[in-house]
A and B are shown apart, each in its own frame.
Chain A
Amino acid sequence: MDLMLPDTGLLFWMTVIFGLVLFILTKFGFPLITGMVDKRNKRINDSLEAARTAEEAIAHLKEEQDRIVAETRAEQSRLMQEAAAERDRMIAQAQDQARVEAQKIMEDAKVRINHEKELAMKELRNEVAKMSLAIAEKVVRKDLSSDSSQKELVDKLIDQL
């Protein structure tokens, strides 16, 4: 059948035309287009990747920030606690010291008071002795041969009081 027999002229021209079209499009057409589109796709993918990385970085940064804030807060509370403890300690120490000081002062005072008391007593005693002597002298004016023997007698007497 005529339909199934390829015509020589048409075969020739089809080969020429298709070959020419193929050559032109291979040289200037399709590789350029597909290459450019591939490039664009690559860029889009890269951009998406970069966006994802940036997002991750931001998320990481946020985490870091939160961590730092939490750390700072913990440090702050620790410092405050420490300060409070220090304050308490210092107050206690001051109180102790004050107490000791007071004790010491008191004791000193006591010692001095005792000493003073003793001195006073001694003086008083002397005074009393003197007064007694004077009194005794006035009482027993007559029989006062020696002051010392009389004083000894008065001291003895006072001690027995």
Chain B
Amino acid sequence: MRWWKVILLILLLVVCREIPGQARNDVEQTGHDVDVAEILFGHTSDGYGWHITTWKGHHVTIPLPCIVHSSTGWHVFMSSELEHGHEYEGLFIAEEGRYEDKIVERGADGELIRPFDISITKNVASLMIIGVLLVLIILGTARWYRRHDATEAAPGGLTGLMEMMIMMVNDEIIKPSVGEKEYRKYAPYLLTAFFFIFLCNLLGLVPFFPGGANVTGNIAVTLVLAMFTFFAINLFGSKHYWKEILWPDVPLFLKFPIPIMQTIELFGVISKPFSLMVRLFANIMAGHMMVLGLVSVIFVTVKLGPVINGSMTVIAMLFGLVINALELLVAFIQAYVFTMLSAVFIGMSRQEEH
């Protein structure tokens, strides 16, 4: 692809990034100030429906199923039932307070109660799309190997690309980090994590459906990923690894009767996945925030007249372009870093006594 095509593509990403429709309407019709914070958090947080755009004052939203277990039992319904503050079987979306934008019900004495809620939200739907996409891509790649004798031919096209990436992660990250001897056992998990995160990050950069959801910039998602790594580290930890934690080679008074070293080591055990969780979450969240913030500049400056608004638009576009290009890089780097650190931690837990 020629360089200008790349730039055009990135520009398209910037222009199309779910331009805050309400904000535009607000400015044009009512002259209200643009609530930048609302735009930023609205676009980076989860939602019950998948808001595509706002067209002539109407929200274009894909309704998604809500699955809620409240005090009155299970409720399954489409999110469109709750739009515009509607109530459905005693459930509604809280406008403000602790449970803002979440499904709640009203308790006996009028306070809001959050029911058990496993709705298919925007992020969940996005996760499902990504999961299906990833499975299709990888199984499609695997199918080639099933149909061909890999010792006789090398794949081309998408299969070749995927093979290159898989082997890059496998040989450059997993093998040296976990160790030649045991990496095979962990490679599927680490590869899945890498491609899952990478795909999530990339789709997060695509501003329109089916992308646009802030999946890896959501702490719940990164928490689950970090938990998988946590279990991978600790469930198969070697004797040496546990000894280092529970009875390290330090003077006796440091570990008995007050377990100072053990406390520190246990803190380390928890902080490893915690750092993974926060790093991925913060990086992706920050990237989304930056691009959204830059796009918001266009709408914030509408009030200041066409000259300033026009020039600021150009500047915002330029910066948005740069940031989006950077985010493409970050999408890869964060997947790489998560996988590599997971692999390194696993490798440390598998170490035998020297």
The stretch that binds A, out of B7-15, B123-131, B291-299, B326-334, is: B123-131
* Cβ-defined partner of B100 (8 Å) among A2, A17, A34: A2
* Cβ-defined partner of B46 (8 Å) among A10, A29, A34: A10
Q: In chain A between 8 and 48, which residues have their CB closer than 8 angstroms to a CB of chain B? A: 8-15, 17-18, 20-22, 24-26, 28-34, 36-37, 39-40, 43
Q: In chain B between 176 and 199, which residues have their CB closer than 8 angstroms to a CB of chain A? A: 184, 187-189, 191-192, 196
Interface residues on A, range: 20 to 34
B27 within 8 A of A: no
Check B120 against A37 for contact (C-beta < 8 Å).
Answer: no
Contacts of B151 in A (CB 8 A): 39-40, 43
B205 within 8 A of A: no
A7 within 8 A of B: yes
B235 within 8 A of A: no
By DSSP majority rule, is chain A's interface helix, strand, loop, or mixed? helix
* A3 and B101 alpha carbons, distance in the complex (Å): 12
Check A6 against B131 for contact (C-beta < 8 Å).
Answer: no
A32 CB, nearest partner CB in chain B, Å: 5
* A138 and B146 alpha carbons, distance in the complex (Å): 148
Check B154 against A18 for contact (C-beta < 8 Å).
Answer: no
* A130 and B45 alpha carbons, distance in the complex (Å): 172
A5 within 8 A of B: yes
* Cβ-defined partner of B135 (8 Å) among A8, A10, A25, A32: A25
Check B131 against A17 for contact (C-beta < 8 Å).
Answer: yes
By DSSP majority rule, is chain B's interface helix, strand, loop, or mixed? helix
19 contacting pairs across A/B (C-beta < 8 A): A5-B219, A14-B225, A15-B224, A17-B124, A22-B192, A26-B192, A29-B135, A29-B141, A29-B142, A30-B138, A30-B142, A30-B166, A31-B187, A32-B146, A33-B141, A33-B142, A36-B150, A37-B163, A37-B167
List the interface of chain A (C-beta within 8 A of B): 2-15, 17-18, 20-22, 24-26, 28-34, 36-37, 39-40, 43
List the interface of chain B (C-beta within 8 A of A): 41, 44-46, 67, 100, 116-121, 123-124, 127-128, 131, 134-135, 138-139, 141-142, 145-146, 150-151, 154, 162-163, 166-167, 170, 184, 187-189, 191-192, 196, 218-221, 223-225, 227-228, 285
Apart from A3-B45, A7-B121, 19 more pairs, CB < 8 Å: A7-B218, A10-B121, A10-B220, A13-B127, A13-B128, A17-B127, A18-B127, A18-B196, A18-B224, A21-B131, A21-B192, A29-B141, A29-B142, A30-B187, A32-B145, A33-B145, A34-B166, A34-B170, A37-B166
